[in-house]
Amino acid sequence: MARRIDIVEVGPRDGLQNDPADLTVSQKLEFISRLEEAGVRRMESGSFVNPKAVPKMADSAAVFAGVDRSKATRHIALALNEKGVRRAIDAGADEINFVLVASETFGRRNQGMSPQESADMLAQCAPLILEAGIPLSATISVAFGDPFDGDVDIAVVGNLAAQAQRAGVNELALGDTIGVATPWEVRAAIERVRMEAPDVYLRMHFHDTRGAGLANVAAAVEAGVDVIDASCGGIGGCPFAPAATGNVATEDVVYMLERAGFETGLDLGKLIETAHWLETVLQHPVSSSLSRAGAFPTKKVPA
Amino acid sequence: MARRIDIVEVGPRDGLQNDPADLTVSQKLEFISRLEEAGVRRMESGSFVNPKAVPKMADSAAVFAGVDRSKATRHIALALNEKGVRRAIDAGADEINFVLVASETFGRRNQGMSPQESADMLAQCAPLILEAGIPLSATISVAFGDPFDGDVDIAVVGNLAAQAQRAGVNELALGDTIGVATPWEVRAAIERVRMEAPDVYLRMHFHDTRGAGLANVAAAVEAGVDVIDASCGGIGGCPFAPAATGNVATEDVVYMLERAGFETGLDLGKLIETAHWLETVLQHPVSSSLSRAGAFPTKKVPA
């Protein structure tokens, strides 16, 4: 039996949030629908944060209202505080992903919170989410490095993970928000978080800024992590800010894992088609490798 | 003590050979000199093959004649047959790298040989090289997949490796010429080759066509391989392999390995400068991640 790896598609949120293009609600819904056609069953479909800070996600309630509820897809909403959590619940989110931050300066700039303040906010919001019967996950952002403060102390990540577990988080993602990690530190972080928060499921969230995105995915999968965030096309970067690149691309992750014998449940051809469709809608090239190179006959040998 | 990983710079050969730009000999020599400034001590500086098939390397004798012999750099010449070997020896190559091919159709198109014919050619040429006192290495190209024939049988790779060892090859590279491999098959191939050719040193040659280039480097390093091919800027491709993109980029490999605590002896800042210089000479962007994103404070913790 092939081991199953679940991909959480983050293109409609982390991808589109940072893209220069302004998509309409109906274009976002078409993106979501194409991803569902490709087999995606869990995706970040929007974010309930300050619309002035993140204007591209201001229409998330409309997106959640428009998704096809006859599908089995779990639509995840991102939130940073109580107001966002209430809006996400009202919008009918199937799951809420909270964002903790592992470093001071990025935390202040991204969500106006220190690491401990983000953990306190989670502890405050978690009961609301859990009482509504909604699964609660969290991402520790900049878990491997902060663009302003530099390296992040693994002890801070471990401490946040322990607090997340106490707050009732079911699944915790470690986010390499700025794409600096290497497979060796990925393994070390996984090990540390497992010690500090043994009851949470682990998910990993990598950006491919410095080329090691898939290396980090492979390291995480080998360390036993079964859930990986990725965005179709690898969107999420800003073409006008060359240093900011996107998430690991869903089709690249799927190619590597399926060729190695893992099962993702995703259709590589349809993902590549969706990446090409995205290029027409976003009006710029996407960064995934598979959308340029195409697939190669897939080995189906369990890893 | 940090573990040492040696990077063989292949930009001046595998990179330039496949680039649309036509560099002059003096531009090639400046490239080589900049690489030496960045700490490169071993590089593929040219190729002695049919100039009609590979016109960009027709000036390799002039390049070898022009390199600064006061430097400690070992300049490697690529050859495919006896004529090439004699030209490489005459040119003063410090080392000759022979190319074996693991698959039929690619072999026919690339060098007009089947896998066994390439091994026979090596056996015929090796004494010439060894009697001249020149270290002999070899690369098994398309060791993980052929763009025309599909997957490559690992038994063919193992068999070629055994023949290479018998011919007197000191170091053997497994080449993922078209960038299809994954870390899992990289490990399997390394294990197989170690069984069949236990006395050769292993080197790995990856292209980043499908995003897994650094993942494969990490897997190889963890499997104990100490020598990795890479090209500054990630330049390269393969004229006989549609959609193939460049080699893994030297600066990306160096970033990942140095951050993880390995020692490469290379200066990341100077490599990035050289990648930017290449963009002005080649008159197109290069594909490396570090040349866009820049470095990040490097962790220096032995892996």
- Is residue A121 over pLDDT 60? yes
Q: How far is CA B92 from CA B45, B62, B65, in A?
A: 11, 11, 8
Which helix (H) or strand (E) segment is A96 a member of? strand A95-101
Per-residue pLDDT of A241-289, as tens digits, reads 455 578 999 999 999 999 999 999 999 999 999 999 999 999 999 999 9
Query: 3-state DSSP call for residue A98?
Result: strand
Interface test with A, best of B182, B238, B262, B271 (most A CBs within 10 A): B182
Name the catalytic one among B79, B219, B238, B271. B238
Given pLDDT bands bounded at 50, 70 and 90, which one contains residue B303? low
Of B257, B289, B297, the CB nearest to A209: B289
What gap in Å lies between CA B6 and CA B225, rounded to an integer? 10
Give the closest-approach CA distance of B24 to chain A in angstroms: 30
In a domain, B237, yes or no: yes
Annotated catalytic residue, options A238, A241, A243, A293: A238
HEC string of B272-285 equals: HHHHHHHHHHHCCC
Nearest to A79 by CA among A92, A97, A65: A97
Task: Name residues whose C-beta falls within 8 Å of residue A286's C-beta, 6 or more positions apart in sequence.
Answer: A233, A234, A235, A246, A249, A275, A278, A279
Q: What's the confidence (pLDDT) of residue A296?
A: 84
Report residue B208 CA to chain centroid gap. 13
Let me know: does A181 contact A215? Beta carbons within 8 Å.
Answer: no
- pLDDT per residue over B52-65, tens digit each? 999 999 999 999 99
Q: What is the pLDDT of residue A206?
A: 96
Terminal C-alpha separation, chain B: 10
Q: How many residues does chain A have?
A: 303
Among B58, B48, B55, residue whose Cα is nearest residue B97: B48
Chain A hits for B296, Cβ within 8 Å: 145, 150, 178, 180, 210
Is A272 in CB contact (< 8 Å) with chain B?
A: no
Please report, as a single letter, which amino acid is at residue B17: Q
How many domains, chain A? 1
Query: Residue A30: enclosing H or E segment and its boundaries?
Result: helix A25-37
Q: In this structure, are residues A186 and A156 in contact, taking their beta carbons and an 8 Å threshold?
A: no
Neighbours of A131 (CB within 10 A): 9
Residue A156's CB is within 10 A of a number of other CB atoms, namely: 18
Confirm whether A62 is domain-assigned: yes
Question: Given CB atoms, is A186 within the 8 Å cutoff of chain B?
Answer: no
Q: Which chain B residues are within 8 Å of A237, Cβ to Cβ?
A: none
Mean pLDDT of chain A: 94
Residues of chain A found within 8 Å of residue B294, distances taken between Cβ atoms: 243
Count how many residues are written for chain B: 303
Q: Per-residue b/e over A240-278, b at no fewer than 16 CB within 10 Å?
A: eeeebbbbbbbbbbbbbbbbbbbebebbbebbbbbbebb
Q: Which of A74, A80, A100, A82 is nearest to A193 (CA)?
A: A100
pLDDT at A241: 46
**Cβ–Cβ contact B3 with A under 8 A:** no
Cβ distance B88 to B63 under 8 Å? no
| Shortest Cα–Cα distance, B235 to chain A (Å) | 14
Q: Is B105 on the interface with A (CB under 8 A)?
A: no
| One-letter amino acid of A107 | G
**Is a pLDDT exceeding 90 seen at residue A110?**
no
Residue B125 a catalytic site member = no
Does residue A303 form part of some domain? no
Specify the 3-state DSSP secondary structure of B75. strand
Closest CA to A10 of A32, A33, A38: A32
Number of H helices, E strands in chain B: 12, 8
d(CA B98, CA B96): 6
The percent of chain A in helix, strand and coil, each rounded to the nearest 5, is 45, 20, 35
pLDDT classification of A239: cutoffs 50, 70, 90: very low
**How far is the C-alpha of B24 from the C-alpha of A200, rounded, in Å?**
59
Q: Does residue A235 fall inside a structural domain? A: yes
Give Cα A137 to chain centroid, integer Å. Answer: 11
pLDDT band of B172, cuts 50, 70, 90? very high
Q: What b-and-e string marks burial along B238-256, b requiring 16 or more CB atoms within 10 Å of the CB? A: bebbeebbbbbbbbbbbbb
Which residues of chain A lie closer than 8 angstroms to B244, CB-CB?
293
d(CA B48, CA B125): 14
Instruction: Tell me the per-residue pLDDT of B226-256, one tens digit each, with 9 for 90 and over.
Output: 999 999 999 986 555 555 578 999 999 999 9
Average pLDDT score over residue span A140-158: 94
CB B57 within 8 A of CB B49: yes
Contact (CB<8Å) A218/B219: yes
B126 within 8 A of B168, measured Cβ to Cβ: yes
Answer for the pair B187, B221: CB distance below 8 angstroms, yes or no: no
Q: Can you give the residue range of the structural domain that contains B121?
A: 6-293
Rounded alpha-carbon distances, angstroms, from residue A3 to A201, A224, A269: 16, 10, 21
Task: Read off the CATH number of the domain in which B62 is found.
Answer: 3.20.20.70
Between CA A243 and CA A210 the distance in angstroms is 9
Is B35 part of a structural domain of the chain?
yes
Residue of B nearest to A182 (CA): B256
pLDDT at B296: 84
Residue contacts between A and B (CB atoms, under 8 Å):
134
Q: Is the pLDDT of residue B301 over 70?
A: no
- In this structure, the number of other CB atoms found within 10 A of the CB of residue B124 comes to 13
Is residue B153 within 8 angstroms of chain A, CB to CB? no
Q: What pLDDT is stored for residue B24 in this prediction?
A: 98
Per the CB < 8 Å rule, is A245 touching B292?
Answer: yes
The vertex-A49 CA angle with A64 and A196, nearest 5°, equals: 100
Residue A180 touches chain B, beta carbons under 8 Å:
yes
